C-alpha cells in the first residue's frame, strides 16, 4: 500500500522525525474555508496522489496570498497525474533551504534484509543522479539483529561532507528505521531531506510503501486504505476478507478461485480464447458455504457478468461447502445466467452431486483448460 505524502508526514511525526505540519483539504469548499483563515504565506500546495512526478505535472505550487491559494488550488484539483485524479491537496508553509538530500530504507529482496540509501543530493533529479553519478549514492545493508549503528551514520556524514550533522542524522535515521520495522514497511523514503537556512534537518517530502499482508495489524492503515477506495465491491469483498479485482469493463465472465495463481491462469486462458473477464475474486483458504454464497453475491453485482467460472482446487476448501454455497446463492437470487464449475480435491464427488441440482445452466469441468472450453461452449450454445 502506497501512503500519501501527508500520511507519511503523520507517521514521521509519530516517530519524532522533523515532519512538516500542514492542512489537508478534500474539496474546493474545504479549500475556500481554509483560505479565509490561513496566514502562513508563502505556502506550498501539493497534490496528494500515490505516484511521483507531481512537480513536473503541475501538482506542486507556491502561493503568496489567499487569492493564489484558491486559484492554484483549483488548478491542482483539476489535474489527473499518472492516471490518478487529485482528490486531496496538502498545504504547509514554505521553507527556505540550504541543501537537499535523499534518504531511504527499503527491503532488498535479493539479500532479504533492509538497505539504507543516502545521497547528499536529492529532489526530483535523484534518479538521474543514480544513473549518471552512482558513486554519489551510499548503500549500506542493515543487519536486522543489530539495526542502525553510529558508525553507519558517521561514515555517511563524512562521505557526504557534513560530519557536523552526524549526531542529528543518527537520531533521524534511527527513527526512520524504527518506523520501517514497526509499521511493516517495504519502503520508507524522505526526498528531499533538507537542511534549512537555520541549519535544521527537515523532512520535506515522504514516501512510504507498506506490506499489504500486514495492514490488518495497523488499524490506521486499514482506515486509510478504505478511505481511498471508491469501488463498493472491493470494500464489500474486503469486509469478508476476499480480494476482489475489476479486470475489464467490457468483460462478461466472472472468476472465483482460491489462489492468485489460479486467477491469473484463468484470465490468461479465457483471454486467449477471445473472451473477456469482467472481474475476479480470490477466496483465500477454508471458505465456508456462507462465504461462498457472499462471494457469488458480490461477483454478480456487476450486471455485465453473464457467466461465473468457479475454479476451485480443494484442500482446506471443501468442494461440498463450495457447492452448497453456490446453491444457496442461486436460491437467494444471487446468480448470473450460467455457471461453469471446476471442483477438484476434498469431497469432489459430493460437491458435484450438490451442484448438479442447480436451477440455472451449469457445466462441470475436469481442469482449468477444460473449464475454459466449457465457458466457450456455453456462450456458443
Phi, psi at 268, each rounded to 5°: -60, -45
92 catalytic residue (yes or no): no
Asked whether the beta carbons of 187 and 209 are under 8 A apart, the reply is: yes
pLDDT of residue 353: 95
pLDDT of residue 230: 66
Phi, psi at 274, each rounded to 5°: 85, 15
CATH number for the domain whose boundaries are 22-94: 3.30.1490.20
Phi, psi at 161, each rounded to 5°: 80, 25
Q: From CA 209, how far away is CA 226, in angstroms rounded?
A: 16
Q: Which CATH number fits domain 97-219: 3.30.1360.200, 3.30.470.20, 2.170.130.10, 1.10.287.1080?
A: 3.30.470.20
pLDDT of residue 84: 87
189 catalytic residue (yes or no): yes
pLDDT of residue 235: 85
**What are 367's three cell numbers?**
481442469
The residue annotated as part of the active site, out of 189, 244, 294, 321, is 189
Q: Which CATH number fits domain 232-380: 3.40.50.261, 1.20.120.140, 3.40.50.80, 3.40.720.10?
A: 3.40.50.261
The DSSP symbol for 133 reads -
Phi, psi at 264, each rounded to 5°: -65, -40
Q: What is the pTM (predicted TM-score) of this model? A: 0.72
Per run of 10 residues, the mean pLDDT along the chain (length 381 residues) is 93 95 94 94 95 89 96 96 92 94 93 92 77 86 91 94 95 97 95 94 95 87 76 87 91 92 94 95 85 94 93 83 94 90 90 92 94 93 76
The residue annotated as part of the active site, out of 102, 165, 177, 334, is 102
Amino acid at each position: 500500500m502506497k501512503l500519501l505524502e501527508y500520511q507519511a508526514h503523520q507517521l514521521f511525526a509519530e516517530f519524532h522525525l522533523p515532519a512538516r505540519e500542514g492542512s489537508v483539504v478534500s474539496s474546493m469548499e474545504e479549500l475556500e474555508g481554509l483560505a479565509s483563515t490561513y496566514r502562513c504565506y508563502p505556502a506550498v500546495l501539493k497534490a496528494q496522489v500515490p505516484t511521483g512526478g507531481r512537480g513536473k505535472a503541475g501538482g506542486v505550487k507556491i502561493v503568496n496570498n489567499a487569492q493564489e491559494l484558491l486559484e492554484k488550488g483549483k488548478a491542482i484539483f483539476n489535474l489527473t497525474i499518472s492516471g490518478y485524479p487529485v482528490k486531496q491537496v496538502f498545504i504547509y508553509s514554505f521553507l527556505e533551504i540550504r541543501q537537499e538530500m535523499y534518504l531511504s530504507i527499503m527491503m532488498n529482496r535479493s539479500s532479504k534484509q533492509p538497505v539504507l540509501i543516502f545521497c547528499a543530493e536529492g529532489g526530483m533529479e535523484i534518479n538521474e543522479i543514480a544513473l549518471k553519478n552512482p558513486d554519489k549514492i551510499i548503500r549500506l545493508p542493515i543487519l536486522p539483529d543489530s539495526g542502525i549503528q553510529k558508525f553507519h551514520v558517521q561514515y555517511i556524514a563524512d562521505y557526504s561532507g557534513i560530519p557536523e550533522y552526524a549526531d542529528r542524522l543518527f537520531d533521524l535515521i534511527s527513527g526512520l528505521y524504527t518506523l520501517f520495522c514497526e509499521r511493516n514497511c517495504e519502503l520508507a523514503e524522505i526526498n528531499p531531506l533538507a537542511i534549512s537556512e537555520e541549519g535544521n534537518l527537515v523532512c520535506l517530502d515522504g514516501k512510504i510503501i507498506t506490506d499489504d499482508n500486514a495492514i490488518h495489524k495497523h488499524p490506521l492503515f486499514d482506515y486509510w486504505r478504505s478511505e481511498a477506495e471508491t469501488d463498493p465491491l472491493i470494500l464489500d469483498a474486503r469486509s469478508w476478507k476476499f480480494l476482489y479485482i475489476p479486470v475489464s469493463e467490457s468483460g462478461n465472465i466472472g472468476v472465483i478461485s482460491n489462489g492468485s495463481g489460479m486467477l491469473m491462469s484463468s484470465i490468461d486462458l479465457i483471454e486467449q480464447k477471445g473472451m473477456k473477464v469482467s472481474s475476479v475474486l480470490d477466496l483465500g483458504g477454508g471458505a465456508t458455504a456462507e462465504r461462498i454464497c457472499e462471494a457469488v453475491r458480490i461477483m454478480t453485482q456487476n450486471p455485465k457478468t453473464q457467466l461465473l467460472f468457479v475454479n476451485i482446487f480443494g484442500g482446506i476448501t471443501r468442494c461440498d461447502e463450495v457447492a452448497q454455497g453456490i446453491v444457496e446463492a442461486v436460491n437467494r437470487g444471487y446468480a448470473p445466467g450460467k455457471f461453469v464449475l471446476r471442483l477438484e480435491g476434498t469431497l469432489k464427488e459430493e460437491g458435484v452431486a450438490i451442484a448438479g441440482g442447480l436451477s440455472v445452466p451449469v457445466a462441470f469441468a475436469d481442469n482449468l483448460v477444460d473449464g475454459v472450453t466449457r465457458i466457450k461452449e456455453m456462450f456458443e450454445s
